[in-house]
Structure 1
Amino acid sequence: MKFQGEKYLHESWVIMPNHLHILTKPLEPLEKLIHAWKSTFSHNFDRGRIWQKGYRDTLIRDPKHFANCVRYIRRNPRQLPRNSFTLWESDRAKKVSAYKV
């Protein structure tokens, strides 16, 4: 969240034990952001090389797609113990109903 509003606008993310999901609007090249996030995490946690090469990105098409992505991120860790993941949502994401409209 260090560069929220400067390099990206995070809408929702969840960090789980073996993967993460981020819904964000990049304000600089996505490749540069991904590299910085992976590098920072690896250095801060001294875990060495833990990341897969590359990443998967998806362009959000419309408000309905945005809402579906928020719900997906929110529901993704539901089978995990509560203390094994971190979920964050922007005010905009928090307004997304838990149910499809």
Structure 2
Amino acid sequence: PTLIQHYRRAIVTAKGIASYAEIERNVFRPNNYFIEEASYPIPKLRFIEKPTCGKIFGDWLEIARSHTRAKFPPREIDESQKNAFLLNGYAKLYKVSGVLILVNATPQ
């Protein structure tokens, strides 16, 4: 394959260049998705097990009830939550002028 074809089979992440297989194994499958088509620039995803509306609502309700109701969002992400928030370390987090910016793993 050409250099361009090689890079279109990979994604540039916070951990470096990762194959679609690695991203599927470490990011998508733990979140109930699999890559249906490793298309460029964004892979086409499908649910492993399609959730019901009740399941989605129940998950969000559980999350909402488990957090304090602060007037403003936190300025920092707790160290114990960073791995999950940053897609198992594949996404980058930048702090710019007191604002947190999440940069997802993007295909290159």
Verify same fold: TM over 0.5: no
Computing the radius of gyration from Cα coordinates, the structure with the larger value is 2
What is the TM-score with the length of structure 2 in the denominator?
Answer: 0.25
What is the TM-score with the length of structure 1 in the denominator?
Answer: 0.26
